[in-house]
Amino acid sequence: MTTDRPVALVTGASSGIGKETALALVAAGFDVVGTGRDTSRVTPLGGVTFLDLDVVSETSVTAVVQEVSERFGRIDVLVNNAGVGSMGAAEETSLAQAQGMFDTNVFGVMRMVNEVLPHMRAQRRGRIINISSVLGFLPQPYMAAYAASKHAIEGYTESLDHEIRDHGVRALIVEPAYTRTGFETNSAKPDTPLHAYAKQRQTVDRVMAEAVRDGDAPAVVAKAIVAAVTDPKPKPRYTAGPLAGRARVLRRLAPAQVFDKQIRKMNKLAG
């Protein structure tokens, strides 16, 4: 089967932001392929073809991109949305745990990009949207490993964008703030908890849980993703929702000491 409609591949479309994005792209006129690690458990979404994909597996990534290309004859958009959180102090997170998280959040994105780019370059057309976070440009105590993974995505995406632009392909960043999904529940807890950090970790966990509960609806992020996908003159980065927009301005304009104090205050850290 080939199609005249543009085709979008959305990773991690089984829940949260990815699910809303898949639906929003269908509404915007795309043929959408959504993925999850076990899509037999996913409730069908109108207009979305679901395929199993684990972004940590090279074999799985190759098979899915091949299948989309064969079934639809084109891949116009890749939304790298699949991601996992990781809570706890930096010292409480083993290297193995941090590597596992990077394998999904960073190397998973790189695997997908390397696999779709030959198709997009051959078409001389394509757009890659990498889902970062406000933690791609802000520090977040007790989420250092996760913040590092999103900072990595920002540097990777901006650099990649310069390389592929000459081939008709763009790579863009979308930065959500706290969003009401299962993200926090699905986040890994520290695998080497230490008494020294326990009390403050619980406080930050509480702050995060409240922020996510009061956060944006996933549809707010989906709207920013559709804007990045469809903008005739794309911007390198799109913040999603008012809080993410304010955080970006604060990071750019606030004096370092004021910014530092604000991060400590928000996380109920002394001083």
Binding site residues, ligand NAP, CB under 6 A: 11-12, 14-18, 36-37, 53-56, 81-84, 104, 131, 133, 176, 178-179, 181-183, 186, 212, 215
Q: For 267, phi and psi rounded to 5 degrees?
A: -100, 10
Catalytic entry in 150, 178, 223, 238: 150
Torsion of CA 192, 175, 135, 82, to 10 degrees: 10
Closer by beta carbon to ligand NAP, 69 or else 179 = 179
Closer by beta carbon to ligand NAP, 75 or else 82 = 82
Catalytic entry in 69, 86, 132, 187: 132
Closer by beta carbon to ligand NAP, 69 or else 181 = 181
Amino acid present at 147: A
Q: Is 149 a catalytic residue?
A: no
Residue 130 near residue 236 (C-beta atoms within 8 A)? no
User: How many DSSP H helices and E strands does the chain contain?
Assistant: 10, 7
Closer by beta carbon to ligand NAP, 122 or else 178 = 178
What minimum distance in Å lies between the beta carbon of 222 and ligand NAP?
10
What minimum distance in Å lies between the beta carbon of 254 and ligand NAP?
21
Q: Taken in order 242, 13, 96, 204, is the CA torsion positive or negative?
A: positive
Number of other CB atoms surrounding residue 53 within 10 Å? 26
Give the H/E segment covering residue 31. Answer: strand 31-36
Catalytic entry in 19, 142, 146, 223: 146
Dist. CA 168–CA 34, nearest whole Å = 24
Q: Is 133 a catalytic residue?
A: no
Q: Is 146 a catalytic residue?
A: yes
Q: Is 150 a catalytic residue?
A: yes
Annotated catalytic residues are 14, 132, 146, 150
